[in-house]
Amino acid sequence: MFSHQHRKAKLLFGLSDIVLVALAFQAAYWTRLSLSLSNTFFFTTERGALILGLCILNWVVVGYWLDVYGNLGAGEPRVVISDALRQSIYGAAGLVLFQFALRLDLSRPFIIFFTLYIWVLLVIFRIGARRLVGMVRREFGALRYVVIVGVSDRAIRLARVLETERDQGVRLRAFFAAGVEDSGAAIESHPVYPLAELPKMLRSEVIDEVLFAVESETLRSLEDVFLQCDEEGVRTRVAVDFFPHVNSEMYLERLGSTPLLTFSATPEDEIRLLVKRATDIVLATAGLTVAAPFLLLTMLLIKLTSPGPAIFMQERCGLNGRRFTCYKLRSMCADAEARKAEVMHLSHRELATKILNDPRLTSLGKYLRRFSIDEIPQLVNVLKGDMSLVGPRPAVPDEVAQYKVWQRRRLRMRPGLTCLWALNGRDFLDFETWMKMDMQYIDNWSLGLDWKILFHTIPQVVMGKGAN
């Protein structure tokens, strides 16, 4: 599925969920009314509209948060059933929270029936949706006819992908070869014509799109062909997989009138990144407000139990290598940095020094480290924009200077208080595994993943697991 179709499909599935939630809501309401239970249950029009609106908002937001709409294009039953179940469970949990927060006093059987009905409706609709779309396309003639310019392995791979889109209305008509000697045969059961015949086919047959799958050095010689397609009003696409080992996302931007093909190895969705930043500000503000009395008390205890400042400040590397001052509650003796060379041989990592039972830790500092209390001041870094709540941990410049090339990509995302490594061993992970987990986070980043990491980090911190 083309990316623009994928975005459209996500929107349509979100809209369909609104209808399905409304149907499940009404069915659950009627089912509950039909039960002869001791407690009286009914909704006034205003109350019913409020609860239905909350349910619709809840289910759609959860769907986008869990990115279930992004998996629906394939229509695989196992994935659909699992995603619909997750969405329904999270949605039901959100409904219960709404009930307590707004004192809605909802019937438990109603919530159970509603959750069950919406799950069943989601599964039935989503499994049948792809077949339904294909049927509508066939019945109403919304087919798209495509030809491919190129006969290389790249062109053949592209053709095979197009064949998987037949039920979405895509029909591959032919290949066109730049060299006459390559024409006349058949590839994947489709004829191969010389490129000179493309203008004739554009005039005599229905061709909606022309896909160019040729080598980069060949593109310049095809300028006349592109012009011909442009004059005919035929959409053209160019396969730009010239760098097969580059895993960056590609998109087209313009600088003035100049088109720029952009490669990005880190998330570039400005809307989602803006939501991430807004979430950081809201949660960091709330965290500092709640933790302020405890923070002040801890700072006082630090001053009373060991000489030196209560706040430890250290230069770290942030987004794209920007330097900033990172704040922590001091958990070591005041001259810990000066004594670093004395204890380096005790580190179980070659980089990102980590010493089990570090002799520089103060008596109070052991507990501050174990329960990550020493990191609370970094919420100030989050507010300033130096850090995020979730992201690769900020490294000191000396460590960054020793990174391998592939490890430097972790600098391309704003550092955070917690990340995937916090859920899988924290301080006991080796450096290589730690780096790979940061890359995994960057490559799979979503708002849902951030929330998942945050929710799983809380019990890890409370129980002091994996910290030293």
Could you tell me the domains of the chain?
A: 3-139 (no CATH), 144-242 (3.40.50.720), 270-462 (no CATH)
Region of poorest pLDDT, from 39-43, 159-163, 318-322: 39-43
What confidence score (pLDDT) does residue 394 get? 92
* pTM exceeding the 0.85 threshold for the entire prediction: no
For 316-327, how does the pLDDT look when each residue is reduced to its tens digit (9 = 90+)? 999 888 999 999
Most confident of 2-11, 216-225, 244-253, 371-380: 371-380
Distances (CA, A) of 391 to 67, 340, 424, 441, 444: 19, 26, 15, 8, 12
Residue 179 has pLDDT above 80, yes or no: no
Whole-number Å distance between alpha carbons of 98 and 54: 8
Which tokens go with 407? 């490890």
Q: 236-255: string of b/e by CB count within 10 Å (b at 16+)?
A: bebbeeeeeeeeeeeeeeee
Which tokens go with 205? 């047959």
What mean pLDDT is predicted for residues 191-196?
Answer: 88
| Residue of higher predicted confidence among 213 and 266 | 213
Region of poorest pLDDT, from 100-104, 148-152, 286-290: 100-104
What mean pLDDT is predicted for residues 115-135?
Answer: 79
Q: Answer for the pair 68, 84: CB distance below 8 angstroms, yes or no.
A: yes
Whole-number Å distance between alpha carbons of 307 and 332: 10
- What is the rounded average pLDDT for all residues in the chain? 82
